[in-house]
Chain A
Amino acid sequence: DAMVIQNPRYQVTQFGKPVTLSCSQTLNHNVMYWYQQKSSQAPKLLFHYYDKDFNNEADTPDNFQSRRPNTSFCFLDIRSPGLGDAAMYLCATSRGSGRAHEQFFGPGTRLTVL
């Protein structure tokens, strides 16, 4: 089935140790999004790619970077995770970023920082 896949589902890292989260999609969608969701809060958009065009939200910390080597894959790199970066990280895709494009979400990766 076409879908958005995130690996791993659970990731444990140490304070300051770089970590990479992975997202892949079989929907052939142009847009891929990364959200951060902390406990009992709404997801917060970190950045999105429209094809190879990278769009960073103004308040996304520099500690967070992203790569999209091809249409199917998008990576979230956290260079030096702090305790405050522990959260659920959600990847989503949409065909376009315009008016009527629905976002499809992956199952998320829960990041724990020790």
Chain B
Amino acid sequence: KNEVEQSPQNLTAQEGEFITINCSYSVGISALHWLQQHPGGGIVSLFMLSSGKKKHGRLIATINIQEKHSSLHITASHPRDSAVYICAVRSDSNYQLIWGAGTKLIIKP
């Protein structure tokens, strides 16, 4: 079993829909990252969380430390949100990043 599991693996939705991507982890962490990668592109850091909730524009990230679970929400989704969204956790033992497999999101106009 992977230490970081994301669901769904693939998600296709219509423009305007509310999107939720989930991340569960099984290790002790000091922080959790949500990152975005467009096809053939580099990685952009969206959020780093260690508790609670963060919001940036149409993006909201939440984390429940007790349940070892985080969600990334996109409100009023747009085709330009189409990308791979990656959850990565920072291990609290060696501070390295442990990566999820990513969720490929396609937003259709």
Residues of A with Cβ closer than 8 Å to B?
Answer: 6, 42-43, 45, 88, 90, 92, 97-100, 102-108, 110
Contacts and interface: CB of A to CB of B under 8 A. Distances in A.
Interface of B: 30-31, 33, 35, 40-45, 48, 50, 86, 88, 90, 92, 95-97, 99-102
26 contacts: A6-B42, A42-B99, A42-B101, A42-B102, A43-B43, A88-B42, A90-B43, A92-B43, A97-B95, A99-B30, A99-B90, A99-B92, A99-B95, A100-B30, A100-B31, A100-B50, A102-B33, A102-B48, A103-B45, A104-B45, A105-B42, A105-B43, A105-B44, A107-B41, A107-B42, A108-B43
B24 to A, nearest CB: 16
Contacts of B102: 42
A66 B105 CA distance: 34
Contacts, number: 47
Nearest to A6: B42
A102 B50 CA distance: 11
A103 B95 contact: no
B48 to A, nearest CB: 4
